[in-house]
Amino acid sequence: MQHTPLRSHKQSGMINGNFRGKDIISFDQFAAEDLHILFDLAQHMKQIVVNNKTSHLLEGMLVSLLFFEPSSRTFTSFAAAVKRLGGQTLEMQNPEIVSSVNKGESFEDTIRVLEAYSNAIVLRHRIVGSAQQAADAAEFSPVINAGDGNNEHPTQTLLDLYTLYEKFGRLDNLTGLLAGDCLNSRAIHSLIRGLSLFPNNTIYLLSPQQLRLAGDDLVSLSARGIKLVEIRSEKEIPQQADFWYWTRVQKERFASREEYLQGLKETVVVTPELLRTYAKSEMILMDPLPRVDSVDPAVDSDERAVFLRSQIRNGLYTRMALLALVLGRA
Amino acid sequence: MQHTPLRSHKQSGMINGNFRGKDIISFDQFAAEDLHILFDLAQHMKQIVVNNKTSHLLEGMLVSLLFFEPSSRTFTSFAAAVKRLGGQTLEMQNPEIVSSVNKGESFEDTIRVLEAYSNAIVLRHRIVGSAQQAADAAEFSPVINAGDGNNEHPTQTLLDLYTLYEKFGRLDNLTGLLAGDCLNSRAIHSLIRGLSLFPNNTIYLLSPQQLRLAGDDLVSLSARGIKLVEIRSEKEIPQQADFWYWTRVQKERFASREEYLQGLKETVVVTPELLRTYAKSEMILMDPLPRVDSVDPAVDSDERAVFLRSQIRNGLYTRMALLALVLGRA
Amino acid sequence: MQHTPLRSHKQSGMINGNFRGKDIISFDQFAAEDLHILFDLAQHMKQIVVNNKTSHLLEGMLVSLLFFEPSSRTFTSFAAAVKRLGGQTLEMQNPEIVSSVNKGESFEDTIRVLEAYSNAIVLRHRIVGSAQQAADAAEFSPVINAGDGNNEHPTQTLLDLYTLYEKFGRLDNLTGLLAGDCLNSRAIHSLIRGLSLFPNNTIYLLSPQQLRLAGDDLVSLSARGIKLVEIRSEKEIPQQADFWYWTRVQKERFASREEYLQGLKETVVVTPELLRTYAKSEMILMDPLPRVDSVDPAVDSDERAVFLRSQIRNGLYTRMALLALVLGRA
């Protein structure tokens, strides 16, 4: 018998309280109870890191990091998550350059080679749907989507929600402001879906004319039970907002340089003045990063600006938790 | 005394049952008894991986992976082999870009720097003979050849032979079919040499006219005692073949696009139909990968197609075994 | 409270016997007593490596290696230093290609992201002052300068001094010859500063006309109490020199190819003949590497040529010691 399965066949679809062996492709796989399981464990992971404890939870485990696209935060935090838990990584960045991909190897074969050598595959790829394609190709190893084009980036949403959960102790009855590129930002779309899993949340949306949430997105997201309110100027920012979530305007989304500059002109940038005028004291300012023309570095010293503090660190804790759960070690 | 040797001087040449500290440059260093030692240990390594056991065999050891050429399987499986055994890697891919090689450092100096920091060096390089050159430059650390141009790639042959050994429990009295680029494939040449270490093996060769095994290679390989039979069409494939070994036709080997297309036209591709017609049930289909126009993905679900199953995994087990032996930890 | 500091705020400035949490930006932070602390520990680290002992000193620790410039020795030896002590690395080479730097992320944000995921940051960057800039951006994690343009490369000087210390048992009353590019070499400038911390050292300087130490550097370095003597030909090399320190002539420093070739013509290259004629038996020949037109490989077999022996290995031991001290584990 030449073929010994290394692991039992993996499963797809809804988490339903059981992460073990599951592909993590879309945020839609998560229900409220799954988030609670994950966030409880993330809390525990934070204690490991903050207290510099040694963990052997992933000892003997290898996780492939296959990144076809540039990334610093996501790549580094996944690598850190594996290593903080005593596991090891197989790192492949720009595989078009360094691997057999440039000899014409198919994407599916690359995935199946990696799954032969590792316990899980974390994938970042330019192409929408590539994470599902990888999950279909992999017979045994779970695939974790670390961003497939502008489609899904579920672990970004997990860390965003965890940041709110840790701050407010709840994910319901929140008022938030989402700003910047509401049309294209997968982080914004996904965060709205996440918050719609919990009752009584209200989201205000502020963006340049050309970057408003698409009409059908507005309809389909509202249908999930969350209250969405579009505003047209900073003057309409609600004083009771518990959080602001700012995103950058992406140059490559515009048809011409003129339209881009016009878009930028209409974009509201967070300044100390803006915070002073419109934000309450017990709110937090978030940004999925990188921030480019979205948040003025002058606000960094404000304790409410959490994007380079707890938000970025929560990416580590939630990914540690997710890996431990998917790999069946928690 | 400013110079303390970190290790005793290493040795070259035939293995002769003792791998410790040896450079592994050519498959010709191996005799049948060396293969048995290695394969017994690979069997043990497989148990570590399959059962997800933690191994500390290479704890405290550093292995340099110096890859001047793109590679995915070989690089990743060596990295996985080191890490699965509790060792660590120093990884340098494309050193022309990221290292002092682009300041004009000689190849020998790069090797001597790396040997100062690591216990062994795994080298992949475009240039024929570079592995021996590295072995000569390194005073203490063994060098393992992970492919030097189209010259040698001994660990590929080790994993191929191990795949046959594991399936059939022997390496003698086998009938095989080698197909594709018999002229240039180092994997094919080496595999023939490997099988000629054991009695009563018969190999059929099938390739396009232009990619036949060179006449002098046919003579010199036959002189090793193995029976080589050239065939001209799939219709001559022997029904009793225990294994098929398929290789891709490499575009860059042809003088012109026309010749390449002609070569491709004459190339036999493995399809479900071909397997159904010419292969017996207890055979295996191998491919050193990447497969490009060599094996139709439609055969992947056939249990006999082991290239993305046991064959690819055996690359991990045999490299784990080889590293442990060369580093004196087994 | 959403923001829990992972570590207490770090400190800058003079070491003063306490390395813990300090940024290591300039060699000027070190006093003679700091060097003794470091070198005693390096001696201990050498025993770990030479005897292949397993160390868990940095277990659970993550060190970021952020290299914007090509490097082989420095990158590899820092990576080896972390891993030999049981720690793990987050490696980012050429971040312009693989990270959000190419989306317009600021240098400060990149640093703050990395410090969120790691216990220390080792930085190599083309731009003078970038290491201090990183240290200012990082709130908690110490930053170690692995070379900022032609400004500072403190760990190079640490390993050079340690090499002298290990050989002669002292850093005072030494006579040395520094040769090659005395004008631009940061390694030479820094080594002179290091030796001026100890009494009665005499340094001879030998370089092509155009690459002499700048007049003001000669004045300011001499003011530190070290005796500097410029010589114009190999014939003036003092027979009593305890060490020679050779550096390469860097092509990119010259205005034209003609000037470069003229400079090369005037450059003294170390040959077996030169050593035979001018060097005593108990001296050592050093080179910070890479050597290009500086030292003839024919001298490599001379036991006095330590650059690819103890000098290169001392880079590992001193960096192990520095990391352990800065991370508070020694």
pLDDT tens column, C262-299: 888 889 999 999 999 999 999 999 999 999 889 999 99
- Report how far Cα A22 is from the mean position of its chain's Cα atoms: 17
A212 in a domain, yes or no?
A: yes
Same domain as C190, residue C96: no
Count H helices and E strands in chain B, helices first: 11, 9
CA distances in angstroms from A315 to A45, A74, A319, C115, listed in the order given: 11, 8, 6, 13
CA distances in angstroms from A130 to A23, A89, A150, A190, listed in the order given: 13, 21, 11, 18
**Out of B3, B59, B105, whose CB is closest to C310?**
B3
Same domain as C186, residue C87: no
Could you tell me which of B59, B70, B128, B112 has the C-alpha nearest to residue B95?
Answer: B70
Same domain as C49, residue C180: no
Could you tell me which of B242, B264, B244, B243 has the C-alpha nearest to residue B253?
Answer: B264
Please give the angle made by the CA atoms of C140, A324 and A145, to the nearest 5 degrees: 90
B253 in a domain, yes or no?
A: yes
A17 in a domain, yes or no?
A: no
Token look-up 């978030």 returns A286
CA distances in angstroms from C175 to B163, B254, C280, listed in the order given: 63, 62, 12
A281 in a domain, yes or no?
A: yes
- Establish whether C74 is a catalytic residue: yes
* Beta bridge partners of residue A125, listed in sequence order: A148
A11 in a domain, yes or no?
A: no
Least confident interval from B116-125, B231-240, C65-74: C65-74
Could you tell me which of B312, B319, B288 has the C-alpha nearest to residue B84?
Answer: B319
pLDDT exceeds cutoff 50 at C317: yes
Question: Which of B46, B84, B153, B291 does the annotation list as catalytic?
Answer: B153
B22 in a domain, yes or no?
A: no
Joined together, the tokens standing for residue C277 give 């004629």
Same domain as B130, residue B104: yes
Contact (CB, 8 A) for C104 and C183: no
Same domain as B193, residue B227: yes
CA distances in angstroms from A155 to A24, A35, A73, A322, B26, listed in the order given: 9, 11, 12, 9, 46
Question: Which of B3, B9, B53, B103 does the annotation list as catalytic?
Answer: B103
pLDDT exceeds cutoff 50 at C156: yes
Q: How many CB atoms lie within 10 A of CB B11?
A: 15
Extract the runs of DSSP E, i.e. beta strands, from B11-132.
62-67, 88-93, 120-125
CA distances in angstroms from C280 to B49, B314, C272, listed in the order given: 56, 56, 13
What pLDDT, in 10s, does the model give residues C16-38? 999 999 999 999 999 999 999 99
| Cα(B60)–Cα(A98) distance, integer angstroms | 28
What pLDDT, in 10s, does the model give residues A115-160? 999 999 999 999 999 999 999 999 999 999 999 988 899 999 999 9
The Cα of A94 is separated from the nearest Cα of chain B by a number of Å equal to 11
Same domain as B211, residue B139: no
| Cα(B214)–Cα(B182) distance, integer angstroms | 8
| Cα(A88)–Cα(C88) distance, integer angstroms | 9
Subunits close to A (at least 3 CB pairs below 8 A): B, C
- Establish whether A124 is a catalytic residue: yes
Q: Is C76 on the interface with B (CB under 8 A)?
A: yes
Q: How many CB atoms lie within 10 A of CB C317?
A: 30
What pLDDT, in 10s, does the model give residues A46-78? 999 999 899 999 999 999 999 998 788 999 999
Tallying the residues shown for chain C, one arrives at 330
| Cα(C181)–Cα(B12) distance, integer angstroms | 40
C93 CB neighbours in chain B (<8 A) are 98
Extract the runs of DSSP E, i.e. beta strands, from chain C.
62-67, 88-93, 120-125, 143-148, 175-179, 202-206, 227-231, 243-246, 284-286
Joined together, the tokens standing for residue A170 give 């709840």
Q: How many CA atoms are closer than 13 Å to the CA of B124, on its beta-carbon side?
A: 23
Percent of all residues in chain B with a pLDDT value above 70, rounded to a whole number: 94
pLDDT exceeds cutoff 50 at A110: yes
**Out of B102, B103, B116, whose CB is closest to C312?**
B116
Peptide bond preceding C288: is omega within 30 degrees of 0, i.e. cis? no
- In the sheet with B175-179, reading across from the earlier edge strand, the strands are B227-231, B202-206, B175-179, B243-246, B284-286
Contact (CB, 8 A) for B88 and B62: yes
pLDDT exceeds cutoff 50 at C1: no
Joined together, the tokens standing for residue C40 give 């005693």
DSSP state, C11? B
Same domain as B223, residue B161: yes
Contact (CB, 8 A) for B260 and B219: no
Residues A83, C62: C-beta atoms closer than 8 Å: yes
pLDDT exceeds cutoff 60 at A225: yes
Could you tell me which of B234, B233, B208, B205 has the C-alpha nearest to residue B217?
Answer: B205
What is the arithmetic mean of pLDDT over C135-146? 96
| Cα(B10)–Cα(B21) distance, integer angstroms | 5
Question: Which of C73, C83, C212, C309 does the annotation list as catalytic?
Answer: C73
Check residue A1 and give its pLDDT.
33
For residue C68, give its domain range. Answer: 27-152+314-326
C112 CB neighbours in chain A (<8 A) are 308, 312
Could you tell me which of B153, B148, B142, B147 has the C-alpha nearest to residue B22?
Answer: B142
Same domain as A187, residue A102: no
DSSP-derived secondary structure for C100-149: GGGGT--HHHHHHHHHHH-SEEEEEESSTTHHHHHHHH-SSS-EEEEEET
| Cα(C46)–Cα(B4) distance, integer angstroms | 10
What pLDDT, in 10s, does the model give residues A241-300? 999 999 998 877 788 888 888 888 888 999 999 999 999 999 999 999 999 889 999 999
Q: Name the CA dihedral angle for A174, A180, A182, A186, rounded to a multiple of 10 degrees.
A: -90
DSSP state, A250? P
DSSP state, A213? P
The angle, 0 to 180 degrees and rounded to 10, between the axes of the packed helices B32-50 and B154-168 is: 80
pLDDT exceeds cutoff 90 at C42: yes
| Cα(B304)–Cα(B127) distance, integer angstroms | 35
Joined together, the tokens standing for residue A278 give 């419109």
pLDDT exceeds cutoff 90 at B253: no
Same domain as A168, residue A89: no
A10 in a domain, yes or no?
A: no
Pairing of strands A284-286, A243-246: parallel
Three-class secondary structure of residue A307 per DSSP: coil
pLDDT class of A98 with cuts at 50, 70, 90:
low
Same domain as B162, residue B102: no
Could you tell me which of A112, A143, A149 has the C-alpha nearest to residue A129?
Answer: A149
What is the arithmetic mean of pLDDT over B56-80? 93
Subunits close to C (at least 3 CB pairs below 8 A): A, B
Check residue A157 and give its pLDDT.
98
Residues C106, A53: C-beta atoms closer than 8 Å: no
C contact residues 83-142, partner A, Cβ 8 Å cutoff: 88, 90-92, 95, 97-106, 108-110, 112-114, 116-119
C103 CB neighbours in chain A (<8 A) are 70, 290, 292
Mean model confidence pLDDT for chain A: 92
| Cα(C265)–Cα(B288) distance, integer angstroms | 52
C166 CB neighbours in chain B (<8 A) are 2
Q: How many domains does chain A have?
A: 2
| Cα(B171)–Cα(B161) distance, integer angstroms | 8
Three-class secondary structure of residue B314 per DSSP: helix
| Cα(A218)–Cα(A223) distance, integer angstroms | 9
Joined together, the tokens standing for residue C246 give 């050779």
CA distances in angstroms from A287 to A159, A294, B304, C88, listed in the order given: 11, 8, 51, 28
B104 CB neighbours in chain C (<8 A) are 290, 292
Same domain as B194, residue B118: no
The H or E element spanning position B282 is none
B304 in a domain, yes or no?
A: no
Q: How many CB atoms lie within 10 A of CB A100?
A: 22
Say which CATH number the domain at B83 has. Answer: 3.40.50.1370
Same domain as B91, residue B69: yes
Q: Which amino acid makes up residue C97?
A: I
Burial class (CB in 10 A: 0-12, 13-18, 19+), A148: buried
Residues C99, A75: C-beta atoms closer than 8 Å: yes
Residue of C nearest to A286 (CA): C2
B117 CB neighbours in chain C (<8 A) are 76-77, 80, 313, 316
Cβ-Cβ contacts under 8 Å for A118 (sequence gap 6 or more): A62, A63, A64, A90, A141, B80
The H or E element spanning position C263 is helix C257-266
What pLDDT, in 10s, does the model give residues A187-207? 999 999 999 999 999 999 999
- In the sheet with B143-148, reading across from the earlier edge strand, the strands are B88-93, B62-67, B120-125, B143-148
Mean model confidence pLDDT for chain C: 92
Contact (CB, 8 A) for C156 and C185: no
The H or E element spanning position A326 is helix A310-326
Contact (CB, 8 A) for C294 and C246: yes
Could you tell me which of A327, A316, A328 has the C-alpha nearest to residue A45?
Answer: A316
- Establish whether C251 is a catalytic residue: no
Joined together, the tokens standing for residue A128 give 């929408």
pLDDT exceeds cutoff 60 at A2: no
